[in-house]
Structure 1
């Protein structure tokens, strides 16, 4: 998949991490029904590889799933076998190069300029500023865009609806959103509430699209 184009077009990455595999699967499918195009299933969730595999079977190739919290080369290979077509890491580690070698675009977690350079060398497609709130928020993103004007930045961590709009206005290509969007849906909570939150975040993303 062309992750760069998808991030620029859709502006929103939903992060699903749940304690209940069945609820996590329902969450992925509900987000897809609401029009969320980029969905990442974190490998730190319960039975996450099964969730990826079953969601991939249900959605098919029209909605390529991402696997998150890819820490190691083994994580990357397992996610690829399960059907994930792009990878997300929380940091610059072995998972970045391994996923890239498998042909998976990588959204690599970075915080510093040195990590940005390392991630780019390893083949990262885009850069996840994580944890974004602790890194300094939209002001830090603006500072990074000075020396790295052509990189695709995706702030993740503490991004609620208002923060999403602020990051996108500050030049983020997209935002990654976990609990402010998913809430408790992946633990068995309300799918109706999930749909409402998804619509709100989609509206924020569309408002920021040029």
Structure 2
């Protein structure tokens, strides 16, 4: 696990914000990823919420120089295996199950598992996980809640995701137990649909400037 933890941290520490994307049309995946990378956001989470997701991950992994394509919304071992085969460099889940932990244990691709309570964090710590996704961040208690976990659960780092915007991201990034945040605001649906890649690069650069 230590090796995979370091691998995951080396990706998450590239930037303060990891874009969380829902890709509807695979043709937009490569130009979208290139626009994000141009703005400094190299680690990109493509969620498994659309039929285009796996092909989008594969395209970004194969064609976008400097990008680290990750897969999000991984719910089971079949998702994990498919995302790994598509070229994911990291895998993100909203929560965790025993079968998912077993699938992750057998893979070299690091898992960022989701947790929302102290008990869930403790359970994952027992499995060797030191870096977790805090989800859904705003709905589960926000930055204040996450900061309150820093002392009793010292040594655990989080990437909070869910309801985070440019305005409130600094609240999370100021927490001692936060390594980065996940956000969808850097790639608004209307900008992707219109192909406003320059606009997305500007939003990415704005997010990158939040560096801790």
Pairwise same-fold verdict (TM > 0.5): yes
The equivalent residue for 2:208 is 202
The equivalent residue for 2:145 is 140
The equivalent residue for 1:66 is 70
The equivalent residue for 1:57 is 62
Task: State the distance in 2 between where 1:136 and 1:22 align.
Answer: 37
Task: State the distance in 2 between where 1:146 and 1:203 align.
Answer: 28
Answer yes or no: is 1:20 the counterpart of 2:22.
no
TM-score by length of 1: 0.89
User: Could you list the per-position Cα deviations for residues 43-97 of structure 1 after superposition, in whole angstroms to 9, with x for gaps in the alignment?
Assistant: 113411101111111136x533211111100001000101002100011123343
Task: State the distance in 1 between where 2:52 and 2:130 align.
Answer: 27
User: Could you list the per-position Cα deviations for residues 161-200 of structure 1 after superposition, in whole angstroms to 9, with x for gaps in the alignment?
Assistant: 121111011221110111x111114444522221111111
Of residues 167, 170, 176, the one that matches 1:162 is 167
**Contact residue 39 and residue 203 of structure 2 kept, 8 A:** no
Q: How does 1:185-200 map to 2 (within 5 A)?
A: 185-200=191-206
Answer yes or no: is 1:85 the counterpart of 2:89.
yes
**Contact residue 4 and residue 152 of structure 1 kept, 8 A:** no
CA RMSD of aligned residues (A): 1.9
* Structure with the bigger percentage of helix: 1
Task: State the distance in 2 between where 1:162 and 1:30 align.
Answer: 21
| Distance verdict in 2 for CA 1:125–1:88, change over 3 Å | farther
**Contact residue 86 and residue 106 of structure 1 kept, 8 A:** yes
Partner of 2:113: helix, strand, or coil? strand
- Deviation of 1:123 after TM superposition, in Å, equals 4.5
Q: Which moved more, 1:27-36 or 1:152-161?
A: 27-36
- Deviation of 1:148 after TM superposition, in Å, equals 1.2
Task: State the distance in 1 between where 2:90 and 2:132 align.
Answer: 13
| Distance verdict in 2 for CA 1:89–1:25, change over 3 Å | same
Answer yes or no: is 1:129 the counterpart of 2:128.
no
Task: State the distance in 1 between where 2:194 and 2:77 align.
Answer: 31
Answer yes or no: is 1:101 the counterpart of 2:106.
yes
